[in-house]
Structure 1
Amino acid sequence: MSERPTTAVVLGGSLAGLLAAGALAEVADRVTVVERDPLPTGAVPRKGLPQARHVHQLWSGGVRALERLLPGVTGELTAAGAHRQRVTTDMVVLSPRGWFRRWDESHFMLLCSRDLLDATVRARTLARPRIELADGTEALGLCGTDAAVTGVRVRHADGAERTLPADLVVDATGRGSRTPCWLAERGLPEPKRREVDSGLAYASRTYRAPEAARDGFPVVSVQPDPRAGQPGRGGVLLPIEDGRWLVTLYGSHGGEPPTDPADFERYARAELRHPILADLLEQAEPLGDPAFTRTTVNRRHYYERMPAWPAGLVVLGDALAAFNPVYGHGMSVAAQSAVALRDAVRRYGWGAPALARRAQRAVARPAGSAWELAVGQDVFYPGATRSGPTLRERAVAAYVDRLMYTATGNGRVARRVTDVTSLERGAQVLLAPRVLLAAVAGPLRPALGAPPLTTEERKAAGLS
């Protein structure tokens, strides 16, 4: 720490914003979180988070980052009912190339409702003495010049306006971020941006699981094939706390899931590539009507590539890169980016030349890895981009497709694939000589002809 107190302002009280605030509280004297809406107390829905009603997961790469920021939080969540699911041991997945086998644990995922996760992170973060919350407060704009951001102008719920000075301003306001406009107001060039819109729409519903299937039941997923030349339709079932299943059905243009409760299970049976989800839902009790959203576009701002970047500003979370939630990477990337932000400040120090630019590049790395995973699939949906997949994307997709096919019958390749999808390791592990040779050879075991549910799981779910 320098002798002068250091201050940070985080815009956005989302998961990404709270994790960034918690990370900065380890290296700054004071951190203020500015949130437009009043934040709730407890595990209840938060305004401005339409995707909270749909499937969410924390891959192990994100869980490990979360633990670095909030030690002991994983145990707190599992004590509250969150499920630790082993990858791929606790998963029943129909990929575009067939059923995955349930290999020995390679990594894991943490599953619970978004309300429980947000409430736990919010309570832990805001309890820190260096963090103060200004909710019900709107960020009006940045203070400073094109060379340096020095604070934020805000308006409180009573209409009063004031300036919050800051050594560092972090934009974690999500998909509605105004940073591109604020940069333009200072005469800075528009950042390069790319969008890949698969057109997927989501319909999600919560169910009370059969009593015998409320503990230890696997994730169940039926995936579409984006390259099939027709609307993609899929679905996923995640066990969450309180003996519930969270089920999301999704479909691209022309294959959207229904909003009518009466059609929810019909879609799962008639439109997906396999009726396993419908079979399971027949034995469960629906809790409320489906929630629907179309907020699934992948959008990436390349702030780290801008020729000029103001000191004192960092953008992360969905404000930097927003992903199709079907891949479950957004929250994990937010946690990893918060760790990267903290480590950058520790490494270079407050007041270091180009600290903000270096921090921006650091937080962009985990976002870039997840971006490649999402776009590598979604770009193949009809109309996802104006020009279609690039030559590189086609070549990468062909190789990944071969890997996924091989992974259905080769446990070593399956582990390397989950190294990447769990955000534990970078995609370079898929180019190791052994993996390349295994991909050429293909799967070592024959394809499965049915969902790999155990006899005990089928009995617990009421299927036999």
Structure 2
Amino acid sequence: MSSVLVLGGGFTGLLAAAAASPHAREVTVLERDVFPEGPQPRRGQPQARHPHFLAPGGVLGLEQLLPGATHRLLAAGANRIGVGADLLFRPAAGGWLDRQDTGRYGISCTRQLLDHVVRTMVRERGGVTFRPECDVVSLLGDGRAVRGVRVREQRPGATEVFEADLVIDATGRGSQAGQWLDQLGIVVPAAEIVDSGHAYATRVYRARPGAESGFPLILIQADGRSGSPGGNATLLPVEDGQWLVAIGGTRGMSMPASNDDFLEFACERVPHPLIGELLAEAEPLSDTMTSRSTCNRRYRFDRVRAWPRGLVVAGDAASAMNPVYGQGLSVAARSANVLRSGFAARGVDPAAAARLQQSICRAAQDPWQMATSQDRQFRGTKGRGASVLARVQLRYGERVFQAATTRPAVAAVVSEVMFLVRPALAMGHPAVIAGALLGPRRPARSEPPLTAWERGFVTGGRVA
């Protein structure tokens, strides 16, 4: 049996290790950081402070890799979010979607809890060794084959070599894979960039008394159709009776400069003030944390003419989408399931690396298309403009979302595509096409469809 090196011990790396361990002689995860003992933050993962939603597509993928993971997460305090039933969604096209039980669900919790549970399950499975404080600096090999990595240890100047039959790069947005391949004489096409200049800020709140469990996830998208900067907001119920709240905006919109500005932004700069009104009497538990790491960036490793044996690049290291669309965790699960299927069919075969890489890039195509088509609507977005076909698809998508606000059959398909349960081709379903042609049955809801219990937590009870 072959040996595998996984670079990076985050969510993608953990799932890659889970995919490889039944088929490899040994799997070693190299992580430059130190793993915490429990669900605590770690220095090398600053994005973990912000909301992460494991969408239904990600839940299905996680269960394929680690059966029982959903149960473990819920037992640890995560929230089960029924898509449609427990999700209040105002898309960029405007108007709130009606609520309905689609039978699909996602998981909402902090990133720290998610990684802790998954890491614990990978350790329990066995066959995986974790090596912290290992900073990978280069690949070993040549233009034909990769046979390991060189690592910088914590001691100044000290390096160590790790050899393996297969190297999986799961180092995320900061991946140096393109640079490493260039050092081996392999020409990689320049990264594709679509950058809307999105920025966002996050605060942790204590849930309003009585709303510690069973409260819906709220998602309000930015509207870029006017040409002006758009604001968005997300309220994510997480463990320990807390709400993780993110507010943001596209290029040209000023982010909150202080904690006091956070609530004002949520009330005044977002298309609907619902989240701001829920926070008006909620207790903040953290200061404001900001991020501008929202650029869509992908490397077309599938177009490299002579991909080397023994190397695969997965997850955000290959294709990183704007995190405000909540796709990253599901794309990581897709990448790992490509590996799982490949290893089950052929074992850990270094010669299959090019085929695996092409499949991983294809698995990210739909999420890439959805995220970039939204971001290209905003004024000042940088990157190659949308093609004629992409513009037609965007206009069709707008009509579909407008129809989805009042047509449950359309909404059910849209949610499954949006949350990566079904491929984008499902947008051609006859019910969806009919909805796009006929339009909404009635004017879209201007106010969110809250239950009487939920309405009681809105300041002043203003929202109907």
Which residues of structure 2 form unaligned runs of 5+?
none
CA 1:267/1:351 → structure 2, altered by over 3 Å: closer, same or farther?
closer
- Asked if the contact 1:202–1:292 (Cα under 8 Å) also holds between the matched residues in 2, the reply is yes
- Are 1:419 and 2:396 an aligned pair? no
Q: 1:87 aligns with which of 83, 89, 110?
A: 83
Query: What residue is the counterpart of 2:22 in the other structure?
Result: 26
- Are 1:109 and 2:98 an aligned pair? no
For 1:332 and 1:265, the matched residues in 2 are separated by 30
For 1:192 and 1:105, the matched residues in 2 are separated by 40
The CA deviation string for residues 115-159 of structure 1, in whole angstroms up to 9 with x for no partner, is 111111112213333111111011121111101111111232235
Q: Shift of the alpha carbon at 1:460?
A: 4.5
1:19-418 equivalence runs, <5 A = 19-95=15-91, 96-158=93-155, 160-351=158-349, 354-418=351-415
- Asked if the contact 1:296–1:325 (Cα under 8 Å) also holds between the matched residues in 2, the reply is yes
For 1:377 and 1:330, the matched residues in 2 are separated by 16
- Asked if the contact 1:33–1:133 (Cα under 8 Å) also holds between the matched residues in 2, the reply is yes
Q: Shift of the alpha carbon at 1:393?
A: 1.8
Query: What residue is the counterpart of 1:440 in the other structure?
Result: 437
CA 1:92/1:351 → structure 2, altered by over 3 Å: closer, same or farther?
closer
Q: Shift of the alpha carbon at 1:265?
A: 0.2
* 3-state SS of paired residue (1:295): coil
For 1:108 and 1:197, the matched residues in 2 are separated by 30
Q: Shift of the alpha carbon at 1:462?
A: 5.6
- Asked if the contact 2:192–2:383 (Cα under 8 Å) also holds between the matched residues in 1, the reply is no
- Asked if the contact 1:191–1:306 (Cα under 8 Å) also holds between the matched residues in 2, the reply is yes
* 3-state SS of paired residue (1:296): coil
For 1:177 and 1:230, the matched residues in 2 are separated by 33
CA RMSD after TM alignment: 1.5
Q: Give the TM-score of the pair, scaled to structure 2.
A: 0.96
Which residues of structure 1 form unaligned runs of 5+?
none
- Asked if the contact 2:144–2:308 (Cα under 8 Å) also holds between the matched residues in 1, the reply is yes
The CA deviation string for residues 359-400 of structure 1, in whole angstroms up to 9 with x for no partner, is 112222321121111111011222222443222221110000
Amino acid at match of 1:355: A
- Asked if the contact 2:343–2:349 (Cα under 8 Å) also holds between the matched residues in 1, the reply is no
For 2:349 and 2:252, the matched residues in 1 are separated by 53
* 3-state SS of paired residue (1:202): strand
- Asked if the contact 2:194–2:384 (Cα under 8 Å) also holds between the matched residues in 1, the reply is no
* 3-state SS of paired residue (1:242): coil
Q: Shift of the alpha carbon at 1:175?
A: 1.3
Amino acid at match of 1:282: A
Q: Shift of the alpha carbon at 1:463?
A: 4.6
Q: Percent identity?
A: 43
The number of equivalent residue pairs is 459
For 1:89 and 1:153, the matched residues in 2 are separated by 49
Q: Shift of the alpha carbon at 1:330?
A: 0.4
For 1:312 and 1:297, the matched residues in 2 are separated by 29
Amino acid at match of 1:70: L
For 1:154 and 1:450, the matched residues in 2 are separated by 55
Q: Shift of the alpha carbon at 1:310?
A: 0.1
* 3-state SS of paired residue (1:246): strand
The CA deviation string for residues 250-302 of structure 1, in whole angstroms up to 9 with x for no partner, is 01122132140011001111111221111100121110111101011010111
Amino acid at match of 2:325: Y
- Asked if the contact 1:65–1:339 (Cα under 8 Å) also holds between the matched residues in 2, the reply is yes
For 2:3 and 2:265, the matched residues in 1 are separated by 52
The CA deviation string for residues 295-339 of structure 1, in whole angstroms up to 9 with x for no partner, is 110101110121110000000111101111111110111012111
- Are 1:7 and 2:3 an aligned pair? yes
Q: Shift of the alpha carbon at 1:438?
A: 2.0
- Asked if the contact 1:259–1:291 (Cα under 8 Å) also holds between the matched residues in 2, the reply is no
For 1:412 and 1:216, the matched residues in 2 are separated by 25
For 2:257 and 2:117, the matched residues in 1 are separated by 30
For 2:295 and 2:237, the matched residues in 1 are separated by 25
- Asked if the contact 1:12–1:171 (Cα under 8 Å) also holds between the matched residues in 2, the reply is yes
Deviates more, 1:120-129 or 1:411-420: 120-129
Amino acid at match of 1:234: N
CA 1:351/1:268 → structure 2, altered by over 3 Å: closer, same or farther?
closer
The CA deviation string for residues 1-57 of structure 1, in whole angstroms up to 9 with x for no partner, is xxxx31000111111111111111021110011111112111110112222111110
For 2:53 and 2:308, the matched residues in 1 are separated by 34
For 2:78 and 2:109, the matched residues in 1 are separated by 5
Q: Give the TM-score of the pair, scaled to structure 1.
A: 0.96
CA 1:429/1:145 → structure 2, altered by over 3 Å: closer, same or farther?
same
